[in-house]
Amino acid sequence: FCHLPRIRHLSLLAISPRPQMPPKRKASSKRKASSSEEEEEEIKPKTKRTKVASSPSPESKQPTNKVLPVHISFPQKIPNTLRVVTWNISGLAASQKKGFKHYVEAENADILVLTETKVNNEPVDPVIKDRYPHCYWSISDTKGYSGTAILSKHKPISVTKTLPGHPDPSLVKGRIITLEFNSCYLIGTYVVNAGAGLKTLDAKKKWNEHFETYIRDLDKKKPVIWAGDLNVAPTELDLANPKTNWNKTAGYTEAETTAFKNVLNPPEDSDHPKFVDIWRNRHPTDKHYTYFSYRFNCRTKGIGWRLDMFVVSERIAERVKMCEIRDEIYGASDHCPVDFSYIGIPDHSDKKSAPKHGGIAQLGEQQTEALWFLKVPRSIRGAPIFGSFFAQHFI
């Protein structure tokens, strides 16, 4: 109610009684959502509205900036490693207006896995092409929807943009690219979303079924690095509000989390090798997220999901020297990039594929020269101790 001015004469109180305000109506526990709020994007997990604005959880400790920092710098790349980054850019055109190139130049990754590119044609961008001579785009038939790309300084042996056995090729387009290198496969995916109200959960189940078969078939030939927006929060540590989202929100249902767990840890009687969610493996108790909705001030409140990740064949997990969420890189997209450093150098038999911007093509040659200088007999290379060292560092 409104306060009365200070009263100097007590007699005024008798003349001017305090005005009575009508009784307050009880606040409704629920606010009717606007039409725009009801139309949650199918490609994003639904964010639950909190009753009271809260500070980020102490367990999160992530930055709360809403725009890309002006000054971006990162530690130097770990020697003899390949730096791979996966990033959901939420539309290339939109991201370019918000600092996409600024981050890409600062990061200087050897390979970029981009998801949700939303491009309708392969972009012709001299800046990207000069830095990444080998660019591969998977584009959806639906205009301005989904889209996956892998930009590489290193030329792969082969490129595939299909998911073998999947009955709906139109659903697959824009969602998967596989590059084959000498020592491994790299799969970039923008996995199908279960949709608002879980309306496309069946399509997600179908994708998961065929993808597990595919990744296991590849793993029989070479180790696999799987990167991208996997559209699943594997555990309750991977989203801010697990209880209110469980079996209600895309990305955190029993069907989705179980399918992901089956890839990592197949039944013992299956004889399938294991895979490792490498960031979670290195940060077993941390609650850090890669996606914060632009809506409801989620970034400031620390309400997010960890949807973007790297999964690797268990037998090469020790070759991963670093995997970190680039927490501060937010604003050019509603997702943060994930950075990954791996001991494994693609073959550069094609000299044209050698990178121009501080890549590691020279390292493959240096390693070959080092072996020649040592003049190690082949019989010794096969010995148990030296053989394992050789395999770990030079294959």
Which residues does the annotation place in the binding site for Mg(2+)?
88, 116, 229, 231, 334-335
Q: Hey, how many other C-beta atoms are within 10 angstroms of the C-beta on 87?
A: 30
Residues across the chain: 395
Supply 220's token pair: 């029989």
DSSP 151: E
**Can you name the residues that pair with 320 across neighbouring β-strands?**
342
What are the tokens at 300? 């400031």
Which residue type occupies 15?
A: I
Strand 224-229 vs strand 185-190: parallel, antiparallel, or unpaired?
Answer: parallel
Task: Give the closest residue to 302 by CA, choosing from 53, 14, 33.
Answer: 53
Q: How far apart are CA 346 and CA 368, in angstroms?
A: 13
Q: Return d(Cα 125, Cα 92) in angstroms, integer.
A: 11
Phi, psi at residue 142, to the nearest 5°?
A: -85, 125
Q: Quick one: DSSP state of residue 236?
A: G
Residues with a catalytic annotation lie at 190, 229, 335
Q: Concatenated DSSP letters for 383-394?
A: SHHHHHHHHHHH
The CA distance from 36 to 196, in Å, is 14
Phi-psi region of 236 (alpha: psi -120 to 50; beta: other; left: phi over 0): alpha
Which residue matches tokens 């998801």?
115
Cβ-contact 308, 333 below 8 angstroms: no
Provide the CA 91 distance to its chain's centre, in angstroms: 14
- Residues of 211-239 as b/e, b for ≥16 C-beta within 10 angstroms? bbebbbebbeeebbbbbbbbbbbbeebbb
Q: What share of the chain is helix, strand, coil (3-state, %, to 5)?
A: 30, 15, 50
Distance CA 291, CA 9 (A): 62
The answer to whether the beta carbons of residues 58 and 293 sit under 8 Å apart is no
Q: Which of 234, 388, 230 is nearest to 315 (CA)?
A: 388
